[in-house]
Amino acid sequence: MSVLHKIQIVQFYPQDIGPWFIRAETECSATRTEDDDTQFYSVFRAFNGPAVQQIADVIGYPPAQAKYNHLKCIITEHFDVPEKEKAKYSGDFFLGSKKPS
């Protein structure tokens, strides 16, 4: 596993996950964090209380590859995001080294 960067993702708020993911991914971009493991565990650390229980299986048994994208899909499924929002936010839109326009 890679060394975790100082990523400070705000606490997860399930009522508005699209903007929450944008903020989380912006934080990863700002810290130049592109490692899948680091993104995966950083997002998990933003969860607490009942929300953690809803994604516990993913954390306990993550896939070998594309952990972050898998977690993102599970989160959107578990928190009942409307279909048009899923289409808008479920793609891989991590900015990486790109800057938002």
Confidence (pLDDT) at 77: 83
How far apart are the C-alpha atoms of 16 and 4, rounded to whole Å? 26
**How many whole angstroms separate alpha carbon 70 and alpha carbon 58?**
8
> What's the confidence (pLDDT) of residue 8?
86
DSSP-H helix ranges across 13-66: 17-30, 36-45, 50-60
pLDDT of residue 1: 46
Work out the mean pLDDT of the chain and round it to a whole number. 78
pLDDT at 88: 58
On the question of pLDDT at 40 being above 70, the answer is yes
